[in-house]
Amino acid sequence: MEPRLVCDGWAAELNLELGLREHTTRVTRVSHVGPLRIQRPFYPEADGTSHLIILHPPGGVVGGDELKLSSILHAGAHGLLTTPAATKIYRTRGPTSQVRQELEVGPGALLEWLPQETIAFAGAQADIRTRITLAEGAKFIGWELLCLGRPAAGESFARGRIVQRLELWQAGRPLYLDRMDLCADAPVLEAKWGLRAEPVVATMILAGGPPSLSPLIRECLGRMAEREPDAPDAQPLRLAASDLEGATIVRYVGPSVPECWQAFTAIWQVVRPLFSGTVATFPRIWNT
């Protein structure tokens, strides 16, 4: 189907279903509209886990764009979804961009939602919503990283507004609901009770696995700190883990996407065997 023009932007939609077939997770249904699709599935793991790369060839989101992703993992399936690069939200003087991500995980299934970061350029206007729905017995490991501005290029988030919603539901019951309204001139960006002028804010969700994972996460981060050489300007990692009923939430607020990425992938490597019984296998796109 041809992409649909919406106001001043374009609409793109991707719908995926994954199911377990002869001990291997297969894409059982896929449809797309516009420039949003998947690369051919990879199977780098002996247990038949499907690694899928979500592609958005334009490489960025402009004012008025509408991107919709729907992913369903049926009972017993194990899928890992990632992206080949950062998602860029460009500045606009026009309408707000819309990004909608609906992730549904069936009984006994495990979804690993591991996209690379979203970068909001100064002047960006976007509404980003991610909703994860778990059946009884479903498991989920995932994260979302947001970088306000381009700190490596000396660009702060001086203009614009990003609204980000992240929701985790199970059997019609909310386990975790988070909403951030990040307007460039809002106190939350600078205040000590907010982002403290840090450009990167990220959330990791671990649901359906062992309870009370926060002690293990703190131990993992402690080992990371021990491996880092001492530096006079070193700052403590601004990351915290909280155990909720049915999920563990890890939050990062800090200066650096690479720092956050290193911490999140280290945690993923530690907890993944507890969810799937197999060691973490990095998607090969991360190595390019």
Question: Structural domain boundaries of the chain?
Answer: 4-206
State the pTM of this model. 0.93
Q: Each residue of 163-206: pLDDT tens digit?
A: 999 999 998 999 999 999 999 999 999 999 999 999 999 999 99
Residue 24: strand, helix, or coil? strand
Mention every residue, 6+ apart, whose C-beta is less than 8 A from residue 45.
51, 278, 281
- Do 185 and 178 touch, CB atoms closer than 8 A? no
- With a cut of 80, say whether residue 17 has pLDDT above it: yes
The yes-or-no verdict on residue 4 having pLDDT over 60 is no
pLDDT of residue 93: 85
Mean of pLDDT over the chain: 92
The pLDDT score that the predictor gives to residue 143 is: 98
Q: Does residue 19 have a pLDDT over 50?
A: yes
Instruction: Look at residue 59 in the predicted model and tell me its pLDDT.
Output: 77
- Residues near 232 by Cβ (< 8 Å), separated by ≥ 6? none
Per-residue tokens: 194: 């907010």
- When pLDDT is averaged across residues 11-15 and rounded to a whole number, the result is 95
Burial 58-69 (b: 16+ CB within 10 A, else e): eeebbbbbbbbb
Task: For residue 201, list its beta bridge partners.
Answer: 146, 253
> Per-residue pLDDT for 2 more than 60?
no
